[in-house]
Structure 1
Amino acid sequence: MALSPRLPRSIQESASSCSPSPTVRWPFADLFDSGLQDQISALKRCEQERQNLEYQIHSLDVRIERFDERLERLRNEENLSTDKLTKCITKQEKMEQEKVELENKEKDLFKRYNKLKTVQGFQNLQGIQDQAKAR
């Protein structure tokens, strides 16, 4: 078998050293070899473990995303609660101020009532005295 002179020398030497009827070797080794079967099983286990870890990572990503959303909601609620608390405190202070104003008005009205009562009592007393004198 003559080889083309254009092929590199190492290929020509390797081709000429081959037996005249070379055995065909498939690119895959003997699938019944137990060592190879062990390696294939190990690769399958590794792939399953990789897929399992990928799923766990995805699950954790989803949980983290949900946690972030919940945290944001809680922060918003906290802000709302803070706002509500501030409004309640402001409203309470306003009501206390109105209470003080009403108490002051009550005191003024009570003083005025007592004055009127005193004046009316004095007038009544004078009226009674006038009636007594007239009799």
Structure 2
Amino acid sequence: MNLNRSNYFNLLINLSSKISRKVVFSRFSLNLRQLKRLIAAYKHVRVLRLPDCILSVPSAPDFSKALTNCQIQELDLSYSGESYSSDWENNLDEFKNLVEGLASSPDLRLSIRRVSILGCLITQNEAEQIFAVNELEQVKIMDGN
């Protein structure tokens, strides 16, 4: 039996219209293209959780058009920055790229209220500075403290 991961990923994208409030994708490994597709497909949910994920963000994704009418209020990245995941302690530029990409969407800028960085090896102060540079000062950074 041939297990093609792209088939499963496409099914998850196609199912997005069936989910209305909250979605969790735990322990996924997503390249930049997949991450952009996933966030765009679930832009209508209020809570998007990506805990323990490996997120490859070598450049800032352009969400300016992909997240039109975005409703995401909370983004949970808990443990996705851990050393066994995206390792943001040693790859802080990838976290910066993610935030810059999120900030490129005017609608997400209006909807987003909270981002969890629990266990991501980034201090709350570092994260707040990165969000401020991207004019997202209104976002409450939650790090578990």
TM-score by length of 1: 0.16
* Higher-RCO chain (CA-CA 8 Å, sequence separation at least 6): 2
Give the structure with higher Rg (CA).
Answer: 1
